[in-house]
Amino acid sequence: MTMNGKASNDNVSDTGRSACGAEEHPSPSDTLETANIADLSGAYELLRQEIAERRQAEKKLKESEERYRTVVEDQTEIINRFRPDGTYTFVNDVFCRFFNKSREELVGEKWFPQAYTEDLGMIRSRLAAMSPENHVVVIENRVYSGKGDLHWMQFVNRGFYNNEGSLLEVQSVGRDITARKLAEEKLEKYQAHLEEMVAERTAGLEKANMRLMNEISERIHAEKALKQSEAKYWAVIQTSTDGFWLVDINGHILEVNEAYMRRSGYSREELIRMHVTDLEANERAEETAAHIREVMRKGSEVFESRHRAKDGSVWDVEVNVIHVPDLGGRFFSFFRDITGRKQSEQALKEALNEKETLLQEVHHRVKNNLLVLHSLISLQQAGLTGRETVNEILNTTKLRISAISKVHQLLYQSERLSEINIPEYIASVTNDITTAFDAGKRSIDISLDLEPALIGIEKAVPCGIIINELLTNAFKYAFIERDSGQISISFRKKDDGCELVIRDNGVGMPEEFVSGEARSLGLQLITLLTRQLKGKLEYKRDNGSKFMIIFQ
């Protein structure tokens, strides 16, 4: 049994050695594979993080570019970017409208605006001077718009360079300075005139003028240096001729530009302590608050309003406002002074209304005069007796038409379109009739005693026809078998109206006229036209004939 027991122990011992031998160590190839897997896992994690960071950076860059593009697109300046070979990479809408080009025609293409020939050498020279150390070049030159108009422009050209100093791209911001250039030309001419006058005076005045010129030059240089020190995007806004506000979500003004300060009369320190309602003259505070909420909902809006300046005056503005939620909900607001445009629109509207009224009046007058002519000819036709010749009938009708046309001739020569000078009118009608009857050959003396007065066309026409009929009758019948005579015409303005008196020293009117039984066309016309004037006709036989007509 002991042997058997030992044998058993030996077996156990051998078994134990065999078990220990079963714990195999990893081979070299297995260890290398494990290490590779760990390295790949780490590299993947780093790559994933890098991709995430790059996407985040690209997102921020895109948002920044969108904000930049939003601000730039809403400018009134001409803005573009181009490579050294002239290929455009960006143009704003103002650039396209000014040169009458579409964005598709320009971006990615080479195109050069047509500059004034005399300015080409200067432009090339100034652009050639651009370098990494001098990367901003301001050029003022003349250029033709898409409509062919010549404009003075100021271009602020900013060069962008790589680390090696090579030019990558140029950004150009231009604004129309034609009005300023014209003003400068006038100023230069005026200064030259002053210098001629100063040259004739004392040397002391000449020195004083030189000191003044030096001060002006120093001030211009100081202002230029101040503008050049403005930071990046403010360079675009500050050079704008339109006003600008940066406003927070509650309507408080955070920043303004020079243009708005000039127009409003307030300083920057005063404005940045204000709320938009302090300057708004068109809306109540609650209306402005509602308007702000509406702009936040829509994102942007263009509307007209009125602002109140420091001196109390009110000016019209066109507002272009953009809400940018990513910048704390701030508002970018641009203001254009449209006071002159509003005044021009009102003046044009009033002029159009005046012209419409005038056309209606002319139409009415022509229609009425044509009816008068028609009635005169109809009455002439109805009153034919066979005793008058065709020539006499035509001459009589011609004088009546002439009396009417004289009214319009004087009316259109007058500054007033509804009244005429009655003494001038009576004198002209009298002259025509005197010439027609060749009064000079018969020694008929005409005397006029006319008081200055203006009367309306509705009274001038019947008054002229009455004078024509009475003078015609006098020339035809008052001086039968006589070679001489006198005719007098007087006109007076009285409290109760106007008084027209026509007198002759002829044979007098027949009894039938005195009794009201006259049937001649001329005398019928006198009666009818006196009624049209709502006047009163009186006749007396006093060493001839005397007609007195009183009308309102």
Each residue's pLDDT tens digit, 446-505 = 899 999 988 887 888 888 888 888 888 888 888 887 888 899 999 998 887 899 999 999
Judge whether 223 and 243 are in contact, CB under 8 Å: no
**pLDDT band per the 50, 70, 90 thresholds, residue 62:** low
Instruction: Examine the pLDDT at 23 and tell me if it is beyond 60.
Output: no
Higher pLDDT, 250 or 352: 250
Each residue's pLDDT tens digit, 181-240 = 999 989 999 988 888 877 777 787 778 888 888 888 888 887 777 566 546 677 778 778
Cα 448 to Cα 422, 423, 430, 500, 538: the distances in Å are 12, 9, 9, 11, 20
Same-domain status, 436 and 543: yes
Encode 17-82 in three state secondary structure. Answer: HHHHHCCCCCCHHHHHHHHHHHHHHHHHHHHHHHHHHHHHHHHHHHHHHHHHHHHHHCCCCEEEEE
Percent of the chain with pLDDT over 90: 26
CATH assignment at residue 332:
3.30.450.20
* Pick from 163-167, 323-327, 352-356: least confident: 352-356
Same-domain status, 289 and 401: no
What's residue 439's pLDDT? Answer: 57
Q: Which of 270, 274, 305 is nearest to 291 (CA)?
A: 305
Token reading at 38: 């760990």
Q: Mean pLDDT score of the chain, rounded to an integer?
A: 79
**pLDDT band per the 50, 70, 90 thresholds, residue 135:** very high
Same-domain status, 373 and 502: yes
Domain ranges, residue 417: 346-551
Task: Name the domain boundary from 337, 369, 384.
Answer: 337
Q: Average pLDDT in the 49-59 region?
A: 78
What's residue 234's pLDDT? Answer: 72
Same-domain status, 395 and 293: no
Higher pLDDT, 372 or 133: 133
The pTM of the whole model exceeds 0.75 = no
What's residue 7's pLDDT? Answer: 33
**pLDDT band per the 50, 70, 90 thresholds, residue 20:** very low
DSSP element (H, E) containing 298: helix 285-298
Name the amino acid, one letter, at 471: L
Q: Average pLDDT in the 395-422 region?
A: 69
Judge whether 451 and 492 are in contact, CB under 8 Å: yes
Q: Which of 308, 309, 300, 305 is nearest to 338 (CA)?
A: 305
Task: Name the domain boundary from 158, 176, 194.
Answer: 176
Q: How many domains does the chain have?
A: 3
Rg, C-alpha atoms of the chain: 49
What's residue 442's pLDDT? Answer: 75
Each residue's pLDDT tens digit, 246-259 = 999 888 999 998 88
Task: Name the domain boundary from 138, 160, 176.
Answer: 176
What's residue 22's pLDDT? Answer: 40
- Of the ranges 79-93, 375-389, 520-534, 538-552, which is most confident? 79-93
Same-domain status, 409 and 513: yes
Three-state SS at 414 = coil
**pLDDT band per the 50, 70, 90 thresholds, residue 274:** very high
Q: Is 305 a domain residue? A: yes
**pLDDT band per the 50, 70, 90 thresholds, residue 14:** very low
**pLDDT band per the 50, 70, 90 thresholds, residue 155:** very high
What's residue 266's pLDDT? Answer: 93
Cα 482 to Cα 444, 479, 488: the distances in Å are 10, 5, 17
Q: Average pLDDT in the 317-327 region?
A: 88
Same-domain status, 261 and 323: yes
Instruction: Examine the pLDDT at 327 and tell me if it is beyond 90.
Output: no
What's residue 386's pLDDT? Answer: 55
Max CA-CA distance within the chain? 201
Instruction: Examine the pLDDT at 87 and tell me if it is beyond 90.
Output: yes
Same-domain status, 386 and 450: yes
DSSP element (H, E) containing 518: none
Rounded Cα distance between 496 and 499, Å, is 9
Same-domain status, 311 and 416: no
Q: Is 450 a domain residue? A: yes
Each residue's pLDDT tens digit, 416-432 = 666 788 888 888 888 88
Percent of the chain with pLDDT over 70: 75
Instruction: Examine the pLDDT at 106 and tell me if it is beyond 90.
Output: yes
CATH assignment at residue 493:
3.30.565.10
Q: Is 426 a domain residue? A: yes
Terminal C-alpha separation, the chain: 170
